Amino acid sequence: MILSAENLYKSYGEKTILEEIHLKIEDNDRIGLIGINGAGKSTLLKLLTGREEPDSGEIARRSGAAVGMLEQNAGLDKHNTIWQEMMRVFSALTELESRLRQTEKLLASPEVIADEQRFAALSHDYAVMQENFEKHDGYLIEVKIKTILNGMGFADKSCDMMIDKLSGGEKTRLALAKLLLEEPQLLILDEPTNHLDFKTLRWLESYLTGYKGALLVVSHDRYFLDKIVTTIWEIERHRLSSWRGNYSKYVLLKEEATQRQCKEYEKQQATLASLQDYVDRNMARASTSKSAKGRLKAIERMELIERPHLADKRANIRFETDMAPFRDVLTVTGMELAVGSGETRKQLVPDVSLTMHRGERIALIGANGIGKSTFLKAVQGIEKMKKGRVEWSKNVKIGYYEQENRQLHPEKMVLHELWDRFPNCTEQKIRSVLGCVLLTGDNVFKQVGVISGGEKAKLSFAVLIMERANVLILDEPTNHLDLLAKESLEDALLAYDGTILFVSHDRYLLNKIPTHIAELDRDGLHLYEGRYDDYLEVKEREEQRRLEAEQQQKLAQAMEQKKTQAAVSYKSKAQKSLEAQNRRRFKELETLIADCEALIAQTEAEMATPEVYGEYLRMQEKCSLLEEEKQKLSGYYDEWYTLSELL
């Protein structure tokens, strides 16, 4: 067990955040922590990491177990380079390596060799340090750093780049890279998928799947949770519940448990009502008073089933249409995507074409900055493109969701923002639609500018509900939504009988809604049938075919080059003899190097054993042999490099 907590309670003032929290984290656990915004997830993490103390309850941590937590830009020294910052993780190992090199020099010095007692003590210390260095992969420090940096998207960055030159998102990724290198026994990640592109996300998922320690992850990325975790912890109404399985499994189990609890609650309530009715009718009668008292005691002894909490359930979003457009809803031909104007104009994609049919749900994906949002605006005429043609079929009515909700008026009240768009509706109708997206009570009288991002998103969905459009164009519709709101939106989009064109980085959404994935890159728009996982399978097959074709091309080029060299080259007998001699020596050197490296490794291993470092003469022999073999190896490598250049 790495960590456990019993009966934790935490409040701020009179506001209870957490109560009766019981949990346990074992080695290799994979836990996803979820809950609505404000449920207490961040507070629980602070308690578990010791950043805050509970009001009551106990937290036990295994002695010596390292707990690492990702925080925005945590622990980065802006005056360091990327490489220097990563090397800070291994400061103890680099110090140990320095001591090893110093000890080697001492063991080779005549004064130490002449002093048997000192030589034996140093030999023992050297063996212990060597074993410790190898145990912690001291020889793999550079490999580890480069692997993590490449995986986290820093392959195109110089390791000599100063940290203060990085963007905010890059600093967050670097902080995560540093934490992964630290390899704590318990790794706590709070929204680790922010600022990561699809490629980096896939690498991170693969890396964390093989992580040796335990994981506790807070994330709104349901696809990430499905890939990584095997247990879901949910904080709801101040308490923690645990569910076995990934996020998708949790959704099914939670729904089953809620339905079961509803039935049990209703059954018990019916029993209670029947018993209470009997008590009310018979308590005053002498003949039945005794049995009535018995039923009253039965009521008092009954363990009451808690009423299922349904208030935080999902919004009731429903998009409906009034008419159907013609089959070919949208045709885009030869569109050039560009941003800016004049000297600042930048071409993003030279040629984009797309045909979208009625009822299709097309998800547009691509690298950040490639022009996805620009494309959505261009097909609506919001952004004017100099090149290309856009044709909408008849009877098309577009509903547009803009990712930052800039179409809303910040100074208006929520109620009037919707009502002013549809002035012929009654207040009851307007408030009913707002209620469907969980904007109720005093919230409808707040100014749009002061409500949260999630509430602005729900207000925009209320506008779409009222518009009854038969084509929805959505730009990152889940960005500001909690998990329940995302599920409500997904259900609404799946039930919608219109046509959808949308941009999203939400892979769970991409794996549930689309009929097609459209990938936008510098070469144009590439359409793939199916959902996100189907798209990944096709891309993996394409990449495999590309690698095979590349390998065949290299082989063909090598064979052609060999033929050409054979046809045009002529060498004298002396030249041929010398070349053959060099090739033989080159092969011989490869064998000598391998044998020498094996002998060095064997000697170092023997020096670390008590039988050797405990005996002065044997240790002296091994030190001499080690130095001799290292000198040989250096000479072999010099000759090998020289011959490799000649050949």
The residue-averaged pLDDT of 315-344 equals: 92
- State the pairing for strand pair 398-401/471-475: parallel
Q: How far apart are CA 402 and CA 51, in angstroms?
A: 38
pLDDT at 150: 92
The pLDDT assigned to 71 comes to 66
Quickly state the pLDDT bin for 566 (edges 50, 70, 90). Answer: low
What's the mean pLDDT in 330-359?
A: 93
CATH of domain 328-530: 3.40.50.300
The DSSP code for 512 is T
Give the pairing of strands 67-70 and 186-190: parallel
Alpha helices, DSSP H only, in 284-371? Answer: 289-301
Q: Choose the most confident range, by mean pLDDT, from 186-190, 256-260, 271-275, 626-630.
A: 186-190
Q: In which residue are the tokens 């936008």 written?
A: 520
Give the C-alpha separation, 42 to 235, whole Å: 11
Report whether 107 contacts 123 (CB < 8 A): yes
Residues 6+ apart with CB under 8 A from 415: 427, 430, 431, 434, 444, 445
Average pLDDT over residues 153-171: 89
pLDDT of residue 422: 96
Q: Please report, for the chain, the start and end positions of each structural domain, with discontinuous segments joined by +.
A: 78-181, 251-301, 328-530, 534-568, 573-646
Q: Residue 233: its pLDDT value, please?
A: 97
Closest by Cα among 454, 476, 461, 469 to 373: 476
Question: Average pLDDT of 275-299?
Answer: 86
Of the listed ranges 68-77, 133-142, 371-380, the least confidently predicted one is: 68-77
Q: What is the pTM of this model?
A: 0.77
Residue 618 has pLDDT above 90, yes or no: no
* Alpha carbons 594 and 19: distance in angstroms, whole number: 63
> In angstroms, rounded to a whole number, what is the distance separating the alpha carbons of residues 261 and 257?
6
The mean per-residue pLDDT over the stretch 7-20 comes to 94
304 CB-near residues (< 8 Å, 6+ apart): 268
Q: Could you check whether 78-181 and 328-530 share the same CATH topology?
A: yes
Which of the four pLDDT bands, split at 50, 70 and 90, describes residue 480?
A: confident
Neighbours of 315 (CB within 10 A): 21
Torsion over CA of 175, 32, 223 and 319, rounded to 10 degrees? -120
Which of 92-96, 110-114, 579-583, 598-602 is the least confident region? 579-583
Name, in order, each residue with C-beta under 8 angstroms of 577's C-beta and a sequence gap of 6 or more. none
Residue 616: is its pLDDT beyond 60? no
pLDDT at 570 over 60: no
> Which residues are registered as beta bridge partners of 30?
215
Sheet holding 15-25, edge to edge: 15-25, 3-12, 56-61
Those residues with Cβ within 8 angstroms of residue 27's Cβ, 6 or more apart along the chain or in another chain: 1, 2, 185, 213, 214
Cα-based distances in Å from 351 to 302, 304, 378, 388: 72, 66, 13, 8
Q: What CATH number labels 78-181?
A: 3.40.50.300
C-alpha distances in angstroms, 449 versus 112, 224, 418, 453, 455? 77, 32, 14, 10, 11
